[in-house]
């Protein structure tokens, strides 16, 4: 635990050198120019308190009160805008300080100015804590996961507090260094008013940019132009001891004593494989255990979810291995760890297993107990277990099919195959696009989404590469978007030949509904029937037509869309 707190502090400290700080640097620097000597301390205190509180409890607040998360962010942006105005027009700041003085009647009059500087700093720091978008590593990402699932503990509070303190110390150094610089250089001291107004203008423009999500585009631009900038700052978090501590933090009942190994052919010695955590929801089999039912067999654990196109593309190989080697003592156990809420339904998983003709045992892992026990992070993921119950080989994602099969054959005492690896097309594709706000990152600034509320979105004429946009009336939820009226449109710019979309029909529908589709601005529309929640092939071009395309989907009321994936 002490190790996690220390590394969280160091991770926060080096965040100041990452691209995330650049858009709000003018706000930090402004602490050098205005208020009393206590103002920088106020900025730091406000930041630490705000960042710690909202990192841990924002999702709980949003879930229990219905207050949109973007309302809190916009409130912080308004405060930053106001303080920028104060720097530009000192008269406005004087009026504000008089109001604060009257409200703070219990404070000694001789200390009002200093206290007002501290109080103003707290407001600025609290605003920074709300809008801060750090390039967090595994430590804080795990804490955020705990907060989303309402598992906030004292340890999580201490780790988040350590991270915010680490981030705040460089802020304090910057502001006090700026003050020292002004004291030593007469020219700066003589032009303090003009410099202060310049920073005020920068703060106002920063607030406007934050409201329009320009900060995100700016960070993307910096990383495109300087791809190595900040890339090595938090790599020290990704080591075996930290991963073990994080696993203990997120699932104290199932700690993993050794780190998992990746993509090594039959590594020695093996790692003892975790069991199936007493899960009882099985398909194609009675509940199984590694210790008894599967003892003496070679077992391939396949983490999957039925709407994952990357998982689906591995099924032909899994089925082929199961057919060829099952009689030789080989077993596959599919661990279904759902990505979306509707994937937790038993009947839906049964339907998917029949659709894809998966005959091997499948266990539902709705609470991600098995996932966490294996310290897994991927769909699909394969863990090959030998006859002694030890993990001897792992592979994550698609590909390496010959290598995986040879690992199976070796553990079964069969001669390896002497043939080249199956080629996987390496052409670039649009990355997976999530539509719910929990993981949304591809909406345009002109089409900024509103959370958990029905909104009518205007048309977006031209989409950037790999972007999506809404048109018509939609509600954007944490996992999905839902059409609130007939004719609501979803537009996409993509690089691929095939496009897949996870869809859910209207609740309580009595008959199938149709979704219309227009590709590359065609005058005529095509359509497909939506019968059950599943992944749908919405674009199926020939491989020779691989390239940049656009698609427009027209939805009936009540249909929900979750995520796009792509293929060739």
Each residue's pLDDT tens digit, 411-429: 998 888 877 776 665 567 8
Distance of alpha carbon 490 from alpha carbon 551, whole angstroms: 8
Q: Which residue do the tokens 């700690």 mark?
A: 255
pLDDT confidence of residue 37: 67
Beta strand 498-504 with 513-519 is unpaired
For residue range 438-471, list pLDDT tens digits in order: 778 788 766 788 888 999 999 888 898 889 999 9
Report DSSP letters for 360-391, one per residue: S-EEE-TT-HHHHHTT---SSEEEEE-TTSEE
Separation CA 179–CA 120 (nearest Å)? 17
Between CA 207 and CA 148 the distance in angstroms is: 27
179 to 94, 107, 185: CA distances (angstroms): 21, 26, 10
Angle between helices 39-65 and 138-148 (to 10 degrees): 40
Residue 176: name the closest of 349, 35, 20, 347 by CA: 35
Whether the pLDDT of residue 387 is over 80: the answer is yes
User: Residue 126: pLDDT band by 50, 70, 90 thresholds?
Assistant: confident
The whole-number pLDDT of residue 86 equals: 75
- Give whichever of 200-209, 371-380, 533-542 has the largest mean pLDDT: 533-542
Query: Measured between alpha carbons, how far is 8 from 137 in angstroms, rounded to an integer?
Result: 9
How many CB atoms sit inside 10 A of residue 326's CB? Answer: 14
Please count the residues of the chain. Answer: 568
Average of per-residue pLDDT across 32-40: 65
Please, which residues bridge with residue 518 across strands?
552
* 357 CB-contact burial (10 Å; exposed 0-12 / middle 13-18 / buried 19+): exposed
Burial of 327 (0-12, 13-18, 19+ CB in 10 A): exposed
Q: Rg of the Cα trace of the chain?
A: 27
Query: What one-character DSSP code corresponds to residue 326?
Result: G
What's the pLDDT tens digit per position in 470-503? 999 999 998 899 999 999 999 999 998 999 999 9
Q: Name which of 186-190, 198-202, 324-328, 380-384 the model is least confident about.
A: 186-190
pLDDT over 70 at 60, yes or no? no
Give the model's confidence band at 409: pLDDT under 50 very low, under 70 low, under 90 confident, else very high. Answer: very high
Whole-structure pTM over 0.85, yes or no? no
Q: What are the strands, taking DSSP E only, across 207-322?
A: 271-272, 282-283, 298-304
| Cα separation values, 158 from 52, 153, 163, 235, 359, Å | 9, 9, 9, 21, 47
Q: Are 178 and 31 within 8 A, CB to CB?
A: yes
Lowest mean pLDDT across 237-241, 309-313, 336-340, 554-558: 237-241
Q: Which residue, among 485, 500, 480, has the nearest Cα to 560 in the 3D structure?
A: 480
Please give the average per-residue pLDDT across 373-386, as a whole number. 87
Q: 136: which residues sit within 8 A by CB, 6+ positions away?
A: 11, 15, 144, 234
Q: Which carries the bigger pLDDT value, residue 136 or residue 459?
A: 459
395: pLDDT strictly greater than 80: yes
**pLDDT at position 334 over 90:** yes
User: What distance in Å separates the CA atoms of residue 34 and residue 86, rounded to the nearest whole number?
Assistant: 10
Question: What HEC string does 499-513 produce?
Answer: EEEEEECCCCCCCCE
**Helices 112-131 and 69-88, packing angle to 10 deg:** 140
Predicted pLDDT at 70: 56
With tokens 């680490």, the residue in question is: 166
pLDDT of residue 111: 42
- Give the angle subtended at the CA of 168 by the CAs of 247 and 95, to the nearest 5°: 135
Residue closest to 123 by CA, chosen among 191, 179, 203: 203
H or E stretch at 394:
strand 390-396
150 dihedral zone (left: phi>0; alpha: psi -120 to 50; beta): left
Q: Give the E-state strand segments of 443-546 in sequence order.
A: 454-457, 468-476, 481-483, 488-496, 498-504, 513-519, 526-530, 534-540
Domains of the chain: 2-17+44-225 (no CATH), 258-411 (3.40.30.10), 433-567 (2.60.120.260)
258-270: average pLDDT: 57
Is there a contact between 454 and 481 (Cβ–Cβ < 8 Å)?
Answer: no
Examine the pLDDT at 45 and tell me if it is beyond 90: no
Neighbours of 408 (CB within 10 A): 20
User: Of 277-281, 286-290, 393-397, where does the model show the most confidence?
Assistant: 286-290
> Could you tell me the two tokens for 166?
């680490």
């Amino acid at each position: 635990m002490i190790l996690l707190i220390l590394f969280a502090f160091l991770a926060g400290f080096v965040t100041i050198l990452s691209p995330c700080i650049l858009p709000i640097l003018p706000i930090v620097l402004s602490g050098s120019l205005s208020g009393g000597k206590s103002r920088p301390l106020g900025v730091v205190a406000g930041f630490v308190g705000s960042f710690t509180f909202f990192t841990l409890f924002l999702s709980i607040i949003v879930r229990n009160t219905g207050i949109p998360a973007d309302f809190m962010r916009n409130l912080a942006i308004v405060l930053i805008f106001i303080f920028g105005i104060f720097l530009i027009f000192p008269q406005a700041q004087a009026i504000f300080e008089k109001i604060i003085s009257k409200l703070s009647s219990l404070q000694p009059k001789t200390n009002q100015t200093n206290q007002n500087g501290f109080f103003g700093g707290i407001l600025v720091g609290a605003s920074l804590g709300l809008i801060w978008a750090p390039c967090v590593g595994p430590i804080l990402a795990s804490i955020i996961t705990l907060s989303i699932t309402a598992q906030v503990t004292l340890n999580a509070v201490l780790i988040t507090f350590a991270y915010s303190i680490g981030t705040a110390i460089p802020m304090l150094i910057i502001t006090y260094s700026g003050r020292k610089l002004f004291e030593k250089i007469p020219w700066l001291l003589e032009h303090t008013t003009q410099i202060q107004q310049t920073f005020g203008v920068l703060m106002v423009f920063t607030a406007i940019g934050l409201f329009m999500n320009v900060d995100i585009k700016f960070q993307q631009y910096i990383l495109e132009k300087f791809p190595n900038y900040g890339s090595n700052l938090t790599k020290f978090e990704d080591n075996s001891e930290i991963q073990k501590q994080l696993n203990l933090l997120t699932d104290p009942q199932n700690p993993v004593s050794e780190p998992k190994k990746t993509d090594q052919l039959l590594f020695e010695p093996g790692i003892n494989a975790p069991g199936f955590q007493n899960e009882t929801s099985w398909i194609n089999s009675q509940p199984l255990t590694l210790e008894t039912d599967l003892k003496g067999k070679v077992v391939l654990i396949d983490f999957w979810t039925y709407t994952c196109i990357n998982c689906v593309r591995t099924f032909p190989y899994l089925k082929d291995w199961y057919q060829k080697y099952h009689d030789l003592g080989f077993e596959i156990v599919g661990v279904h760890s759902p990505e979306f809420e509707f994937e937790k339904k038993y009947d839906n998983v049964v339907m998917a297993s029949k659709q894809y003709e998966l005959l091997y045992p499948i266990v539902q892992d709705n609470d991600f107990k098995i996932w966490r026990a294996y310290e897994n992070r991927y769909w699909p993921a394969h863990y090959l277990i030998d006859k002694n119950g030890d993990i001897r080989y792992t592979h994550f994602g698609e590909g390496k099919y010959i290598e995986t099969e040879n690992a199976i054959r070796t553990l079964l005492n069969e001669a390896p195959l002497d043939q080249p690896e199956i080629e996987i097309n390496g052409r670039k594709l649009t990355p997976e696009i999530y539509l719910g706000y929990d993981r949304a990152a591809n909406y345009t600034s002109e089409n900024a989404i509103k959370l958990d509320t029905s909104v009518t979105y205007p048309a977006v004429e031209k989409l950037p590469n790999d972007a999506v946009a809404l048109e018509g009336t939609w509600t954007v939820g944490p996992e999905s978007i839902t059409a609130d009226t007939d004719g609501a449109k979803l537009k996409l710019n993509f690089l691929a030949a095939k496009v897949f979309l996870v869809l859910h029909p209207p609740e309580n529908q009595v008959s199938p509904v149709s979704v219309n589709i227009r590709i590359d601005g065609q005058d005529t529309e095509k359509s497909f029937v939506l019968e059950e929640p599943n992944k749908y092939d919405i674009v199926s071009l020939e491989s020779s037509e691989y390239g940049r395309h656009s698609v427009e989907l027209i939805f009936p009321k009540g249909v929900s869309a979750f995520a796009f994936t792509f293929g060739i």
